[in-house]
Amino acid sequence: DYELCEEWGHLYPVPREDLINLHREHLLHLLEVGDMEKALQLLQRIEDPGVCLAISEQSLDQHPNLAASHFLADYLTAHFYANLTTARRNEIQALYIGSKVLLTLPELSRVNYFHLSSRPLLMLEQLLMNMKVDWVAVAVQTLHQLLAGQEVGFTVEDIDNLLSKYAEKALNFPFTLKEKRS
């Protein structure tokens, strides 16, 4: 049905907003069923870069599933980096990095941290608070690789400071040890 509507749009004048809505719904449908190849082909068929940018951004703002969010953040960064404001660019790159970190976690646990996908530093802190040290190690390694040369609102130093803070808290004892008397 989406393809039929798309053909109709080529034959008759369709208002820009309706065209954007049609393509956005089609894109979200393709991403929901996991057909990334057809989603990419759909985006490549759209001739107007402004329409393509609007569709991609609106789709991302719908908060689709993890794989779709990752795909859209990657697509927007790769194709429309210069068209985005600095704040929006940082937001999209943080979402890309956060979704990449989420993909390193065990599949059944991802749902617990999905709401933090656009805030990777907070996700890392949540993992530390939940004492998921093995997951933190993989997440930190992934973050170090992804942050090389990227500007996303936080740095490797911020990660190191967070790790230091929690390491210090782990060694902080709230009570004094009693001495044994002989």
Q: What is the mean pLDDT of residues 140-144?
A: 87
pLDDT for the residue 182: 57
Average pLDDT, the chain: 85
What confidence tier does 149 reach under pLDDT thresholds 50, 70, 90?
Answer: low
150 falls in which pLDDT band (50, 70, 90)? low
Is the separation of the CB atoms in 123 and 98 below 8 Å? yes
Q: Which pLDDT does position 181 carry in this prediction?
A: 65
Q: What is the mean pLDDT of residues 143-147?
A: 83
* Overall pTM surpassing 0.85 (yes/no): no
Q: Hey, where are the domains in the chain?
A: 1-84, 86-171
**pLDDT at residue 64 in the model:** 82
CA–CA distance, 55 with 65 (Å, rounded to integer): 16
In which band, very low, low, confident or very high, does the pLDDT at 12 lie, cut at 50, 70 and 90?
Answer: confident
User: What angle do helix axes 86-104 and 49-61 make, rounded to 10 degrees?
Assistant: 50
Q: What mean pLDDT is predicted for residues 167-172?
A: 77
State the Cα–Cα distance between residues 122 and 129, nearest whole angstrom.
Answer: 10
Residue 122, CA distances (Å) to 27, 106, 117, 159, 178 in order: 29, 18, 9, 10, 37
CA distances 94 to 33, 111, 118, 146, 166, Å, are 24, 18, 5, 10, 22
E strands of the chain, at which residues? none
